[in-house]
Structure 1
């Protein structure tokens, strides 16, 4: 079949391919971090589940018409805060309005870099969530997973991409 010399050289050829990076297509894997427990006040965590030393909190929320589109009826107006970050390149978390069974009615990502500094060093901000049935909103919760990661995926870059990524952003219908 194959000469013995050719068979003996095959392992060496595989080692050379591996060292040159040609085999990285076979090794590139993407995984998503497990979604953390949602709460009103959360410790923001990285993709390995380790705390970043940053706390995010829903300070308050209420239903009211958005001042720019009052004809659309009530929306969820929420205030949030971050503590433990400089706000320049800090984390981002998902905020969701949920019903009594903790099913998301509407979600968005809030970045600490979009917050305003307060005299005590905390960063605060506010946002609006448009939901189909505002009367069903029971709570506004934060998901602790840092969503600020911009790591490339295997699909985008099979040589340098891959690794653990934040979970998919929360969306309408997700059980929190």
Structure 2
């Protein structure tokens, strides 16, 4: 049994710890489920709610990157964000995939990277280096917004926690 002195002090000490934010009882991390990838997607927040922004792959090709042509073909793709404004900067994962929709390489692109030519200022372009460019059958976007990822409970027990975007896909993941 515990001495009476410990029992008398324990409840107030627990209340002080809980009120000070030192308690991990209220901090939980969850990860959003990855949405279905497509050439054109409605960008969604961590709760799966549409943000009113559409992201689309406008085109892609295999060609040497102009700055490193000796590395051979890379995936050069163009993308477009419709509905984003200067105050938001939604971002989605773009993945080169094979015929089975298996990822060969991915990277995150954001609407702030879309500053295309004057005739289409909502477009941007990026390069993806993949190990076997001859296997690329397309470029898909994953609809989950990657622009905001709050701190985790592990990193910040007091202010962390909540819903986080899904982990970015790894090479070999099927979309």
The whole-number CA distance in structure 1 between the counterparts of 2:120 and 2:60 is 22
Check conservation: 1:83, 1:121, Cα contact below 8 A.
Answer: no
Q: Name the count of aligned residue pairs.
A: 175
Distance in 1, matches of 2:115 and 2:87, equals: 11
Q: Is 1:44 aligned to 2:43, yes or no?
A: yes
Which moved further from structure 2: 111-120 or 74-83?
A: 111-120
Counterparts of residues 50-61 of structure 1 (less than 5 Å)? 50-61=49-60
Q: Report what 2:99 is aligned to.
A: 100
The separation in 2 between residues aligned to 1:2 and 1:151, in whole angstroms, is 41
Matches within 5 A, 1:116-131: 116=115, 123-131=122-130
Asked if the contact 1:82–1:122 (Cα under 8 Å) also holds between the matched residues in 2, the reply is no
Alignment RMSD, CA only?
Answer: 2.2
Unpaired stretches in structure 1, ≥5 consecutive residues: none
Q: Distance in 2 between matches of 1:121 and 1:73?
A: 29
CA 1:66/1:124 → structure 2, altered by over 3 Å: closer, same or farther?
Answer: same
Q: What is the match of residue 168 of structure 2?
A: 169
Q: TM-score, normalised by structure 1?
A: 0.88
Residues 54 and 146 (structure 1), Cα distance of their counterparts in 2 relative to 1, 3 Å cut: same
- Superposed CA deviations along residues 15-59 of structure 1, whole A, max 9, x for unmatched, are 343223232x23322211110000000000000110000000000
Change (3 A) 1:85 1:153: same
